[in-house]
Structure 1
Amino acid sequence: MTRSLSPAHRLLAASSLLASLAAATLNFNCKDVVSQRVTWDLSELGGPRMVHWVREIEPATHNFTFTLDICKPLRKHKGQDPHELCPGNTRVCGVEYVTNNYDNVTAVSQVVPIAGDYHLINGQPLESEVYRLKGSGSNADSNKEGVRVELSGGREQLTDEKGNKKMGKKQKAVIEFLCDPSTDGKDTEVDDRPEEDGDEKEESTLRRRDEEAPEEKPDAKQKSLRFLSYKDENIRGEDWGVLRLEWSTKYACENAVNEPKEGDGHWGFFTWLIIIVFLATAAYLIFGSWLNYNRYGARGWDALPHGDTIRDLPYIMSDFGRKVTNTIQGGGSRGGYSAV
C-alpha cells in the first residue's frame, strides 16, 4: 500500500531537489574545488589568462585568442572594441582575429562566449563539473594526478545583431589541472590591459599581441597553461564546440591544500626569540611575586622581584637618556663645567 504525499510535502521535496541541483550546477568556487572527497584550492590561478591558437591559412593568419578567469567573470577593458567583447558574466571567451598577410590589416572574425552565467540572456547559468583524475575510469587519466574542470553555459551565438535571443552551438571549456610540484602555474600570458574601472597597467593592445604571437610559438610549449584543441565534439548526441586546455601547477597536487601559500611562511628566529624572552620574563615575575607573597606577605610593588628597581625604572631611563644627550651634545666651551 502506497501513501500519497500531501501538497506541502511535495512542495518541500521539490524545493530540496531544486536546491541540490542549483548547488551542483549554478556556480564554481575556485577556492573550494571538490571531487571524491579531495579538495583543491585554485584561487592562486585566478585572473584573466590568455592562450592562442594560431593558424596560417593563406592569405591570412588566424589567431584565436582564448581568455579565461576561473575565479570571476572577465572584465571589460578601457577602449575595448564592443565587437570583440563577450557578454557580461563570461568566464571563458574566444575571439578570432584574422590578419591579412598582404596589407597587415586585422579584423575580428568571430566572438564565442564559451562558458559563463547567461541566465539573464537566455536562461542558461554557468554549469561546472569537476573530476578527480586519479579516480577516473580512463586508464590514461588514472596515471595522472590533478583535477579536470569543465565549464559551460555559452553558445556560439547568444544573440543576433539586434540583441534578440539566438541559440547557437553549445560550448564547453575542459581544463585539466595537472600536478607539477616544480611550478606554481602562473607563468602564463596574463591579460594586463587596464580594466574599464580598474588600475592603470602597462598599455598593450591585442593587435600587438597578435603580431608577436608567431614569434612566441616555441616558448608557448614551455608555459604552464597550454592550448590543446578547439573543435566540435559529440556530447549526448549533440555537436558541441569544446575548448581543451592543460594547466600544470603545484596547486593541482592533492596535498597542496594543506601546504602554506606564498607569503604564509613560518615565524622567523627573532620572532620566536622575542616570544620566548617575553614568556620567560613573565614567568619569572609571576613566580617571584608568588614566592615573596607566601614567604614575606609582601604586596603590591614589594611583591615583585626587584620591585624597587622596576618602580624606579622610569627615573633610571630618564637619567640615562639625559646623560646620553649631554654626551652627544658635548660640554661646550666650558670644559664640562656648568655656568654659575
Structure 2
Amino acid sequence: MKPFPTWLTPATLTSLLLLTPTASTAATTPASPLADDSSSPLACDNIQVEGGHTYNLQALAGPHVVVTGEYTRPTYHNTTYAIDVCRALEREGEGEGCPGGTRVCAIKHRWNRKEDKMTGIDQVIPLVVGDDKAVTWQAKRLPADGEGKDDAPKDGKKEGLRLTLQSGATYQDRAQRAVVEFRCNPDLEGAEGEWESVDKYKPVKGEKARREDKDDEKKDDGKKDDGKKDDNKKDGDKVSDPSTPERQVKKDDAALVWGGYKRERDADGKELDTLYLTWYTKHVCDTAVDQPVKESESWGFFTWFVILVFLGIAAYLIFGSWLNYNRYGARGWDLLPHGDTLRDAPYLMKDLIRRALNTLQSTGSRGGYSAV
C-alpha cells in the first residue's frame, strides 16, 4: 500500500469537501440571492447602479396596480398587486388590507361571476414592508437586446433597470420579495392602461390630476369590457368553464405588466415567493438617465419678501413725494416724506457709532472711574 501524500491533511480534506457540490445543489439552480450592494436607504429619485448611472423614478411615485384573475373550480379569484416604489401604500377608507408601511401588497378576492362583484378576501400578502432604511434593495442596469452589435434587432427589448426589493416580510413562513424590470419605452409615461381595482390607495400629490386626464379613455374601455363580460357569461352558460391559471387582466396599452408570482428557493435552499413585474416607461431610457432634476423655477419666500418690502418702500416714497409737491409745493429733499429725518440719518448713524466706540474704550483698566 502506498503511503498517503504529505499534503493530504485533515484540514485539506475538509476544504475539498466544502468546495465539492452536493447532489442537491448541483441538480437545482437556486434563485439568485438578494445581495445588499447599497448601504444607503432607498431613494426613488436617486437610484445609482454600477457604471455610475443614476435613475430618477420620482415620476412613477404613487400606487400602481395590476389585477390578475384565475379560476379553480368552483371559485373565481381576482388578485390585486399594488406597488409604490417611492413610499408606503396608504389605503383609502377602512377594510382588510396590508399593514401600514407596506410598499408592495397582494390582496386575493373571491369573485361572484354571476353578480359580477367581490364577495370576500381570501389572502392578504404584504410582500415588501418598511421605510427606506428597512427595505433591502438591489439595482442593475439592463442592456438592450443586442446592445453594442451591428445586427441588433430593432424590435427587441430596450435598455432598462432591474430593481429588486425585499424586507423581513414573510407569508406562511416563506420570505417575500418583488423584482421589477423597468424597460425603456419613449412613448409611455408609466401609468397608461392601468386596470381599475376594488382596492383603493391614496395617490401622491399631482398623480390624481394625471389620472383624471385618462377618465374618458377608461370609460371607453369600460364599455368594451362590458361587452366582453357579457360574452364570457354567455359562454359560461353553455359549457362548464375549465380551471384556468392565474393571468393578468389588462388593457392593450398597459405599461405595468404582471410577470408571475412564483415560489422559488434561495441560495440556502429555503423557499421564497417572488413577484415579477415589467414596467414600460420613458424614465429609464438612456436619454433620461443621469439627467439632473429640474429645480423649481418658482421664487422662494425670502425672494418674495424682499420684493414686497422694496415695492412698499418705493410706493411710500413716491406717494409721499407727490403729496408734498401738490400740497406744499416742495422741492428737492423737501419732497421726500420725513425728509429731515432722512437728511439727518447719516449724521445720526455717525454719532451712534462714535458713542458705541467711546463706551467700549472707556471700559478699560480705570475700574469705572473717569480721568480728571
Q: Shorter-chain TM-score category?
A: 0.5 to 0.7
Alpha-carbon separation, structure 1, partners of 2:85 and 2:282: 16
Tell me how far apart the structure 2 counterparts of residues 218 and 45 of structure 1 sit (CA, whole Å): 21
With over 3 angstroms needed to count, the CA separation of the structure-2 counterparts of 1:113 and 1:244, relative to structure 1, is same
CA contact (8 A) 1:26 1:128 kept: no
The corresponding residue for 1:131 is 140
Tell me whether 1:40 sits opposite 2:66 in the alignment.
no
Q: How does 1:79-98 map to 2 (within 5 A)?
A: 79=94, 81=95, 84-98=96-110
Give the counterpart of 2:165 among 135, 141, 151. Answer: 151
Backbone CA RMSD of aligned residues: 4.4
Which 4+ runs in 1 deviate beyond 6 A? 196-199, 260-265
Task: Please give the TM-score of this superposition, normalised by the length of structure 1.
Answer: 0.54
Instruction: Specify every segment of 5 or more residues in structure 1 that has no aligned partner in the other structure, as ranges.
Output: 1-20, 137-141, 158-166, 203-208, 266-314, 316-340
Q: Quick one: distance in 2 between partners of 1:26 and 1:171?
A: 21
Identical columns (%): 27
CA distance in 2: counterparts of 1:53 and 1:234, whole angstroms: 24
Residue type of the alignment partner of 1:44: A
Q: Spell out, residue by residue over 1:267-320, the C-alpha distance to the aligned partner (whole angstroms, 9 max, x if none).
A: xxxxxxxxxxxxxxxxxxxxxxxxxxxxxxxxxxxxxxxxxxxxxxxx9xxxxx
For 1:222 and 1:143, locate their aligned partners in 2 and report how far apart those are by CA, in whole Å. 16
CA positional deviation for 1:254: 2.2
SS at match of 2:289: helix
**In structure 1, C-alpha distance between the alignment counterparts of 2:203 and 2:183, rounded to whole Å:** 33
Which shifted more, 67-76 or 23-32? 23-32
CA contact (8 A) 1:185 1:225 kept: yes
Q: TM-score, normalised by structure 2?
A: 0.50
In 2: Cα distance, 1:106 partner to 1:41 partner: 40
Query: Is the CA contact 2:248–2:258 (under 8 Å) kept in the aligned structure 1?
Result: no
Q: 1:85 to 1:217 in 2, by over 3 A?
A: closer
Are residue 241 (structure 1) and residue 273 (structure 2) matched? yes
2:178 is aligned, of 173, 177, 189, to 173
Q: Distance in 1 between matches of 2:68 and 2:53?
A: 33
Asked whether the 8 Å contact 2:179–2:276 carries over to 1, the reply is yes
Larger RCO (CA within 8 A; separation ≥ 6)? 2
- Given that residues 166 and 177 in structure 2 are in contact (C-alpha distance below 8 angstroms), is that contact kept between their aligned partners in structure 1? yes
Larger Rg: 2
Deviation at 1:134, TM superposition (A): 2.2
- Structure 2 counterpart of 1:155, which letter? A
Which residue of 2 is the match for residue 227 of structure 1?
258
1:221 CA drift (Å): 4.3
CA distance in 1, matches of 2:203, 2:296: 32
Out of 70, 74, 84, the residue aligned to residue 55 of structure 1 is 70
Query: Partner amino acid for 2:62?
Result: G
Structure 2 Cα separation of the partners of residues 25 and 195 of structure 1? 30
Match of 1:30 among 44, 52, 55: 44
The CA deviation at 1:62 is: 1.0
Aligned residues of 1:76 and 1:196 also touching (Cα < 8 A): no
8 Å contact from structure 1 (residues 232, 239) kept in 2: yes
CA distance in structure 1 between the aligned counterparts of 2:264 and 2:204, rounded to whole angstroms: 38
**1:133–1:217: structure 2 CA closer, same or farther, 3 Å change rule?**
closer
CA 197–230 in structure 1, closer or farther in 2 if over 3 Å, else same: closer
Q: Report the 3-state secondary structure (helix = DSSP H, G, I; strand = E; otherwise coil) of the residue aligned with 1:44.
A: helix
The number of aligned residues is 222
Structure 2: where are the runs of 5+ without partners?
Answer: 1-34, 146-155, 212-221, 230-246, 298-321, 323-372
**One-letter amino acid of the counterpart of residue 135, structure 2:** L
Q: Distance in 2 between matches of 1:195 and 1:240?
A: 29
Q: Alpha carbons of 1:262 and 1:179: their partners in 2 closer, same or farther (altered >3 Å)?
A: farther
Per-residue CA deviations over 1:171-222 (Å, capped at 9, x if unaligned) read 01000000111211121347794749999x89xxxxxx9xx79859775342
